[in-house]
């Protein structure tokens, strides 16, 4: 069946063997527990558990008061709205735990999970059973041609990074960086990427809660690929220093 792999925000990775369960939270107080948000009151001491069963990962909410959200390919985020609620997933997905807001923005701790089995999308509110078969009927997300250059400019650092689960702090381009790459105004470029994200959210796709989450989702789901870097203007080489060779 293989093992599942869990990666938290700081890049640390944890294997999950068949039948094994790990508790995730501020102070999980359990053998094999994974600490997330150690000093953050928004995270419960024992917030969520993950367990590998028949190649699929069961995600179960343990927190009494705080939400757990799960984002998987081609689906809107699933909210586990009550203690004990759970979902079963295969493939790659992300578990979101609430985080103390930054400048009034809602932000989350992101826990990446990769299960050995490939399976259907999560179904909220049902008792756990390893799923068998089934696929999403939603139309796959796509970028419009006019959106592709802007998305490529923002996603370029992610696309040029070949590492996977290696803990490197690679982030999408900032608004000024993307604007400089395209030779456009910062506010104009910001509006283009925000409009793209909102369009996809309006179609029911989990296009992220901000620009960075959108870029990670777009790369993970193949909306933007290395081939799209060809639509970007050539990079301007740095000027030669005066008196240089």
pLDDT for the residue numbered 218:
86
Q: What does the pLDDT look like over 94-117, one tens digit per residue? A: 898 988 876 566 678 889 898 887
SS3 236: coil
pLDDT for the residue numbered 9:
82
pLDDT for the residue numbered 106:
64
Cα gap 128→114, rounded to integer Å:
18
pLDDT for the residue numbered 161:
74
| Domains of the chain, residue spans | 4-114, 145-231
Mean pLDDT of 200-208: 71
pLDDT for the residue numbered 127:
37
CB neighbourhood size of 175 (10 A) = 15
Q: What does the pLDDT look like over 185-195, one tens digit per residue? A: 999 999 999 88
User: Token digits for 113?
Assistant: 């999970």
pLDDT for the residue numbered 214:
86
Higher pLDDT, 155 or 238: 155
Cα gap 157→170, rounded to integer Å:
7
pLDDT for the residue numbered 126:
39
Question: Residue 44: what are its φ and ψ, rounded to 5°?
Answer: -75, 160
Residue 43 pLDDT class (50, 70, 90 cuts): very high
pLDDT for the residue numbered 201:
75
pLDDT for the residue numbered 141:
81
Query: Rounded mean pLDDT of the chain?
Result: 80
Judge contact between 48 and 70, C-beta under 8 A.
Answer: no
Mean pLDDT of 36-49: 92
* Ranges of H-type helices in the chain: 145-159, 175-182, 186-202, 211-220
Q: What does the pLDDT look like over 51-106, one tens digit per residue? A: 999 889 999 999 998 889 888 765 667 888 888 998 888 888 889 898 887 656 66
From 157-161, 187-191, 233-237, the region with the lowest mean pLDDT: 233-237
Fold of 4-114: Tumour Suppressor Smad4 (2.60.200)
Look at residues 224, 30, 34, 214 and name the one whose alpha carbon lies nearest to residue 113.
34
Higher pLDDT, 245 or 158: 158
% of the chain residues with pLDDT over 90 = 36
pLDDT at 47 over 70: yes
pLDDT for the residue numbered 132:
42
Cα gap 59→231, rounded to integer Å:
40
pLDDT for the residue numbered 128:
38
Q: What angle do CA 78, 20, 8 make, to 5 degrees?
A: 55
Q: How far is CA 230 from CA 21, 145, 172, in A?
A: 44, 13, 17
CB neighbourhood size of 170 (10 A) = 13
Mean pLDDT of 198-202: 79
């Amino acid at each position: 069946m293989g093992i599942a792999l869990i990666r938290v925000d700081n890049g640390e990775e944890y294997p999950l063997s068949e039948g094994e369960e790990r508790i995730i939270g501020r102070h999980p107080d359990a053998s094999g527990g994974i600490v997330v948000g150690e000093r953050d009151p928004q995270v419960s001491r024992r917030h969520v558990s993950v367990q590998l069963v028949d190649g699929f990962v069961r995600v179960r909410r343990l927190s009494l008061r705080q939400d757990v959200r799960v984002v998987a390919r081609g689906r809107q985020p699933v909210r586990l709205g009550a203690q004990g609620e759970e979902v079963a997933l295969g493939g790659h997905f992300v578990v979101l735990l609430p985080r103390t807001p930054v400048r009034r923005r809602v932000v989350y701790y992101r826990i990446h999970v990769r299960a050995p089995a490939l399976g259907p999308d999560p179904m909220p509110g049902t008792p756990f059973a390893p799923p068998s078969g089934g696929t999403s009927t939603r139309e796959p997300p796509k970028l419009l041609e006019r959106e592709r250059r802007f998305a490529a400019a923002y996603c370029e650092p992610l696309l040029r990074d070949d590492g996977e689960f290696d803990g490197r702090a690679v982030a999408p381009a900032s608004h000024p960086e993307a604007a400089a790459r395209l030779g456009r105004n910062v506010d104009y470029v910001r509006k283009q990427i925000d409009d793209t994200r909102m369009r996809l959210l309006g179609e029911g796709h989990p296009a992220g809660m901000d620009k960075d989450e959108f870029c990670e989702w777009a790369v993970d789901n193949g909306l933007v690929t290395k081939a799209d870097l060809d639509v970007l203007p050539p990079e301007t080489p740095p000027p030669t220093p005066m008196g240089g060779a």
